[in-house]
Amino acid sequence: MVLEENKQQKIVQMFDDIAPTYDTANRVLSMGVDIQWRKKACDETFVRYKKPIDLIVDVACGTGDMMGYWQKRADKKKLKIKKILGVDPSVGMTNVGKEKFPNFEFVISEATNLPLEDESADILSISYGIRNVVQREEAFREFARVLKSGGYVVILEFTKDDKKGSLYAIKDFYMNRVLPKIGGYISKNKEAYEYLPNSIEGFLTSDMLQNELDDAGFTTEFVKSFSMDISTLLIAKKR
């Protein structure tokens, strides 16, 4: 338990360190395609959730990008959201988020201990953050606790794949050789961007992730991979 806590603290500290340059590095490294992935996540969720939306919670919200897309896509569809809440353990990241989105509320908290009442959220999202949660299965149970019956958990993540071939060799070269150099140059923290490909390699496949969600009380309704399976979108409904 102590080792897990220490590992989690080191990850949070890493994000505190890279917070000032995080958005710039993210846009450069993803070449902006993550914007389409985020929009797709919002749109596919809104298609499924037909009830009034009191609360959307974005866990591991970072600098608030996904919160912004929830609001923009809801506005486009003329949907009313009473509140969007960002939750993240990194003070550095949320401080940047507060400057970008002064109208949103941010709180400092771990994914395993959300400051929310039981069955209070309609939608809970976590974008490129679940692999950084050391006690992942505990977090999934916490997500189920705070979501209303019939609510949705929305996950965007870099999942592990076991596929081979020239395209996947190119992807591996980019993730392991190019990304750490560019990310390290922008952030002046190469170690943080060496962590990214290593964390993906040590993470789960999409199928494994779905199994853990099922164990936590969710039924996966939508799965889609993007850009040679670099990113995966999972939308699961609380049973």
Mean pLDDT, range 134-143, rounded to an integer: 96
Paired tokens of 215: 């164990």
The answer to whether the pTM exceeds 0.75 is yes
Lowest mean pLDDT among 21-35, 139-153, 162-176, 198-212: 162-176
Q: How far apart are CA 22 and CA 157, in angstroms?
A: 17
Residue 88 is predicted with a pLDDT of 97
Residue 185 is predicted with a pLDDT of 78
Q: Around Cβ 222, how many Cβ atoms within 10 Å?
A: 17
Query: Which of 25, 34, 38 shows the shortest CA–CA distance to 196?
Result: 25
Q: Given a cut of 80, is residue 181 above it in pLDDT?
A: yes
- Mark out the alpha helices in 91-189 (DSSP H runs): 91-100, 136-146, 166-173, 179-187
Q: Given a cut of 70, is residue 171 above it in pLDDT?
A: no
Considering Cα of 147, then 153, then 157, then 159, what sign does the dihedral take? positive
Residue 217 is predicted with a pLDDT of 98
Residue 38 is predicted with a pLDDT of 95
Residue that wins the pLDDT comparison between 36 and 168: 36
Paired tokens of 29: 């490294």
Residue 162 is predicted with a pLDDT of 61
Mean pLDDT, range 14-26, rounded to an integer: 84
Domain housing 174: 2-238
Mean pLDDT, range 151-165, rounded to an integer: 81
Domain count, the chain: 1
- Among residues of the chain, what percentage have pLDDT more than 70? 90
Using a 10 angstrom Cβ sphere, with 0-12 exposed, 13-18 middle and 19 or more buried, the burial of residue 193 is buried
Residue that wins the pLDDT comparison between 35 and 168: 35
93 touches 63 (CB < 8 A): yes
Q: What is the CATH number of the domain that holds 82?
A: 3.40.50.150
Residue 165 is predicted with a pLDDT of 60
Q: Coil, helix or strand for 199?
A: helix
Run of H or E residues at 110: none
Run of H or E residues at 225: strand 218-226
| Highest mean predicted confidence (pLDDT) among 81-85, 131-135, 180-184, 190-194 | 81-85
| Highest mean predicted confidence (pLDDT) among 111-115, 170-174, 196-200 | 111-115
Residue 27 is predicted with a pLDDT of 73
Residue 176 is predicted with a pLDDT of 72
| Highest mean predicted confidence (pLDDT) among 1-5, 166-170, 183-187 | 183-187
pLDDT tier at 143, thresholds 50, 70, 90: very high
